[in-house]
Structure 1
């Protein structure tokens, strides 16, 4: 049996309230298809006024999993491809109810594949999630409420279908395509066809979680006050899903734009939402609430090339589309995010163990998976291609700004929290 004592000590040392520590985290390692290590420490919910109300971080705690969510949206897209209800190279606009045309590249169609691999020529702008009363057209037409002077389109030297730029709005459009094809609300379709088959508790709307699941919903924290000032010495402040015990009214939602100039905390009803008009408020790019246990099941499915518990969730052909490189960096054809994104599949990306995107300092380990980062959360799910080895983790808060020099990784383009936990988990994979 592997000795994970060093890994456990590193993770335990990450938890606390001192500079660089985190309020809570959980992680696991799977080797040869079996879980060989797990750790949970700290708290999923903190009550500074009455610490007796604190809830520990467990493998059942639900968190807004940020961009790890993207793969689940793609799973739904691939299911529809397998059912011949759409094709990856279909023009996205045919499902959205309006022509989706890049003003600088009007002759180049924007396809579903391009949305999924971030070569669409679309950009987030200031915001990429809008209230349910608006149509997606408001992003892309000059008289639109959220046009932002064309801020949702790339510049003329970043052509459609060729230039990679990570864009959350792409996945809001994919969620809307799913609705248009299935005539089901995004959250409901995902619950029935993706989450349930993978044995994942949770969902996209805290307001609609079953009471027992809502009681397990964790909060995301930062040491940043409401004016945006970071302070090493302040207590953890909840910035996402800090509901205490009061669940929001059924079928209500707030917007989820972590980097907007001003976050929209207003509550909207979706009672009269028109399916297929705008799924961005569900946050298909990052709004899934799920647990470490859900990540484990997902990892086992990926290691099974689309199968989980001998049941086919996705075909092997779909698995290959998702995990293989659709785009890769060469001749300055993309924004690599400080060297962390050098190739991308569909909702998952590839890590070359010898590149600037590597997450293991001392060994060359190639990986496929995805990270998540928003509202203080850091998370990741990765496997070693061609093996049944991999890991997952969730961190529910950070105490420093990503722009703070102390947040920079020591040996890669990743942030220090990601480097520390993923390096420890990768090393754990290869303990003798």
Structure 2
């Protein structure tokens, strides 16, 4: 449509091979629950047999995955099998307490809103042969000298710190309660209900789904040094057309990429002991089409295509502010996370998390960022207006001054695409 020519030109200009350009980008603009504009440019896969970025291209969607974990948790709560205030120790098979706060229960809600007092450390996804207990006891292989616990001045239940391990534990709890493997539960009860194609294990995708799987890229050399002058280097899901074996998994720890080289079989995995290797915090592979279905359900307060997916009260619990920053009670991630719900967060247009340099708009949703991917999925509460996007690679380090936003705490790629989409959203 001619009215979106400026938006399309801005998105098209993001694709390229220099500085802040990206290998591929896709976006959708939604008004009154209907897609009014969509764009896909660049490539989902580069190399000898390149594939164009498409609406149905699947990508490891990073932290947008968190809301799908919350959907599973809320379904089990609606069935009376779980509660937000439950002690997570009751489901993990061992007593988990912060050593500095031994009398404070760590609840399901604290995991979901990142006030649990737990921390990622260097590794937060571990092989299926281990229990999650290995993170938290001194004799555990992944204890990291207590790095998975907050310092004493960041109390449990009060201090916010974004922690991917929280969602690995939520995935493990979903297994313990449902008696289903985490990926199976989400596939059977969440993705199917929302008519979403995808999954957590590339080897378990159908042949058609696997053929749609995109790769994530960065401009890093083998030693991990960022270099502007080198071609795009594949970082995640670079299978070169060879489908992994069924029920196999590799670790997904961004800080220790060498772990990704080893493949583990799930033949002997016991559900309810350790779902971290599925990456419930970020490992879901879905497309822009799938993201649209999930966002439509949120905007419809739990209803999808005329059927109740979740009760409106459950959606309200996801959307409402569970924690907010008072100047001292959290790590705000460059002042972009100033309040948080359950697997979703809120953006106020008059704060450093804003998506537009001038306009004041309130949004709810989530971004994703890992292995070169940037994604976003937001809507204006009280409406059915929103947007979503996927970028499948970046060529600059987060520490490079050129990657910083110009008017917010967001990165330049996020600022560029979200401000352009917001402008499109407000065209009359």
TM-score for the superposition, normalised by structure 2: 0.99
For 1:245, the equivalent position in structure 2 comes to: 241
How far is 1:360 from its partner? 1.3
Alignment of 1:335-354 (within 5 A): 335-354=331-350
Measure, in 2, the Cα distance between the counterparts of 1:192 and 1:361: 42
Measure, in 1, the Cα distance between the counterparts of 2:16 and 2:178: 45
For 1:16, the equivalent position in structure 2 comes to: 16
SS class of match (2:261): coil
1:175 matches 2:171: yes
For 2:226, the equivalent position in structure 1 comes to: 230
Measure, in 2, the Cα distance between the counterparts of 1:110 and 1:226: 40
Measure, in 2, the Cα distance between the counterparts of 1:418 and 1:100: 37
Query: CA offsets, 1:358-401, max 9 Å, x none?
Result: 01122111100000000000000000010010000000000001
How far is 1:3 from its partner? 1.1
1:219 matches 2:215: yes
SS class of match (2:40): strand
For 1:330, the equivalent position in structure 2 comes to: 326
4+ residue runs of structure 1 moved beyond 6 angstroms? none
Query: CA offsets, 1:265-316, max 9 Å, x none?
Result: 2000011101100000000000000000001111110110111111111100
For 1:382, the equivalent position in structure 2 comes to: 378
Query: CA offsets, 1:236-287, max 9 Å, x none?
Result: 1100000011011111100000123744320000111011000000000000
Alignment of 1:23-38 (within 5 A): 23-38=23-38
How far is 1:18 from its partner? 1.5
SS class of match (1:37): strand
How far is 1:42 from its partner? 0.2
For 2:264, the equivalent position in structure 1 comes to: 268
Contact 1:2 1:431 in 2 (8 A): no
2:71 to 75, 91, 95: 75
1:89 to 65, 85, 89: 85
Alignment of 1:248-259 (within 5 A): 248-259=244-255
Query: CA offsets, 1:44-98, max 9 Å, x none?
Result: 0001xx3xx1100000000000000000000000000000001000000100000
Measure, in 1, the Cα distance between the counterparts of 2:379 and 2:147: 36
SS class of match (2:353): coil
For 1:157, the equivalent position in structure 2 comes to: 153
Measure, in 1, the Cα distance between the counterparts of 2:414 and 2:167: 23
Contact 1:223 1:236 in 2 (8 A): yes
How far is 1:431 from its partner? 1.1
RMSD of the TM alignment (CA)?
0.9
Contact 1:172 1:280 in 2 (8 A): yes
Query: CA offsets, 1:4-27, max 9 Å, x none?
Result: 111111100000112210000100
For 1:4, the equivalent position in structure 2 comes to: 4
Alignment of 1:352-371 (within 5 A): 352-371=348-367
Measure, in 2, the Cα distance between the counterparts of 1:138 and 1:19: 41
Alignment of 1:62-211 (within 5 A): 62-211=58-207
How far is 1:226 from its partner? 1.7
Query: CA offsets, 1:93-131, max 9 Å, x none?
Result: 100000011000000000000000000000000110000
Measure, in 2, the Cα distance between the counterparts of 1:155 and 1:192: 39
Query: CA offsets, 1:144-202, max 9 Å, x none?
Result: 10000000000000000000000000000000000000110000010000011111100
Measure, in 2, the Cα distance between the counterparts of 1:245 and 1:33: 36
Measure, in 1, the Cα distance between the counterparts of 2:27 and 2:84: 34
For 2:401, the equivalent position in structure 1 comes to: 405
For 1:372, the equivalent position in structure 2 comes to: 368
TM-score for the superposition, normalised by structure 1: 0.98
Measure, in 2, the Cα distance between the counterparts of 1:65 and 1:2: 30
Measure, in 2, the Cα distance between the counterparts of 1:372 and 1:228: 21
Measure, in 1, the Cα distance between the counterparts of 2:22 and 2:327: 38
In structure 2, the gaps of 5 or more residues are none
Measure, in 2, the Cα distance between the counterparts of 1:2 and 1:328: 41
Measure, in 2, the Cα distance between the counterparts of 1:202 and 1:151: 33
Measure, in 1, the Cα distance between the counterparts of 2:152 and 2:257: 26
Paired positions, count? 428
In structure 1, the gaps of 5 or more residues are none
